Amino acid sequence: MTAATETGHPNVLAKAVREGIFAGVISFFMFLLFVGVETYQDINNALVWRTRWGLLAIFVLVAAVSRFLTVGFIKPHIDRRKLAKAKSGVLEISEQKNFFHRHFLKIALIFLLVYPFLSLLIVGKQGSLKYVDNFGIQILIYVMLAWGLNIVVGLAGLLDLGYVAFYAVGAYSYALLSSYFGLSFWLLLPMSGVLAALWGIILGFPVLRLRGDYLAIVTLAFGEIIRLVLINWTDVTKGTFGISGIAKASFFGIWSFDTGSANSFVKAWGLSASSVYYKIFLFYIILALCMLTAYVTIRLRRMPIGRAWEALREDEIACRSLGINTVTTKLTAFATGAMFGGIAGSFFATRQGFVSPESFVFLESAVILAIVVLGGMGSLTGIAIAAVVMVGGTEVLREMSFLKAVFGPDFTPELYRMLLFGLAMIIVMLFKPRGFVGSREPTAFLKERRAVSGSFTKEGHG
Partner 1 sequence: MEYFIQQLINGLTLGSIYGLVAIGYTMVYGIIGMINFAHGDIFMLGGFAALIVFLIATSFFAGIPVALLLLLMLLVGMLMTGLWNWTIERVAYRPLRGSFRLAPLITAIGMSIVLSNFIQVTQGPRNKPIPPMVTDVFHIGGITISLKQVLIVIITAVLLFAFWYIVNKTPLGRAQRATEQDRKMAALLGVDVDRTISITFIMGAALAAVAGGMYLMYYGVASFNDGFIPGVKAFTAAVLGGIGSLPGAVLGGLLIGLIESLWSAYFSIAYKDVATFAILAFVLIFKPTGILGRPEVEKV
Q: Is 218 in the site for partner 1 (CB under 8 A)?
A: yes
In the bound state with partner 1, the residue whose beta carbon lies nearer, of 19 and 258, is 19
Q: How many CA atoms within 13 Å lie on the side-chain side of 183?
A: 17
Residues 6 or more apart whose CB falls under 8 angstroms from that of 239 comprise: 230, 231, 232, 233, 357
What distance in Å separates the CA atoms of residue 152 and residue 365, rounded to the nearest whole number?
A: 13
In the bound state with partner 1, the residue whose beta carbon lies nearer, of 190 and 393, is 393
Q: How far is the CB of 217 from partner 1 (least distance, A)?
A: 7
Q: How far is the CB of 166 from partner 1 (least distance, A)?
A: 16
**What character string, x for contact with partner 1 (CB under 8 A) and - otherwise, covers 187-206?**
-------------------x
In the bound state with partner 1, the residue whose beta carbon lies nearer, of 159 and 437, is 159
Q: How far is the CB of 86 from partner 1 (least distance, A)?
A: 19
Q: Is 47 in the site for partner 1 (CB under 8 A)?
A: yes
What distance in Å separates the CA atoms of residue 26 and residue 145, rounded to the nearest whole number?
A: 40
Q: Is 30 in the site for partner 1 (CB under 8 A)?
A: yes
What distance in Å separates the CA atoms of residue 343 and residue 113, rounded to the nearest whole number?
A: 21
Q: Let me know how long the chain is.
A: 462
| Phi, psi dihedral angles at 359 (to 5 degrees) | -80, -10
The window from 81-89, 275-283, 380-388, 417-425 that contacts partner 1 (CB under 8 A) reads: 417-425
Q: Is 159 in the site for partner 1 (CB under 8 A)?
A: yes
Among 1, 273, 430, 446, contact with partner 1 (rule: CB under 8 A): 430
Residues 6 or more apart whose CB falls under 8 angstroms from that of 75 comprise: none
Among 1, 2, 3, 41, contact with partner 1 (rule: CB under 8 A): 41
158: left (phi over 0), alpha (psi -120 to 50) or beta: beta
| 321-350: contacts with partner 1 (CB under 8 A) | none
Q: What would the DSSP string read from start to end of 107-147?
A: HHHHHHHHHHHHHHHHHHHHHHHIIIIIIIIHHHHHHHHHH
Residue 412 gets which letter from DSSP?
-
Among 22, 49, 117, 407, contact with partner 1 (rule: CB under 8 A): 49
Residues that bind partner 1 (CB under 8 A): 26, 29-30, 33-35, 37-41, 46-49, 159, 206-207, 209-210, 212-214, 216-218, 220-222, 224-225, 228-229, 231-232, 317-318, 362-363, 366, 369-370, 373-374, 377, 415-416, 418-419, 421-426, 429-430, 433-434, 455, 458-461
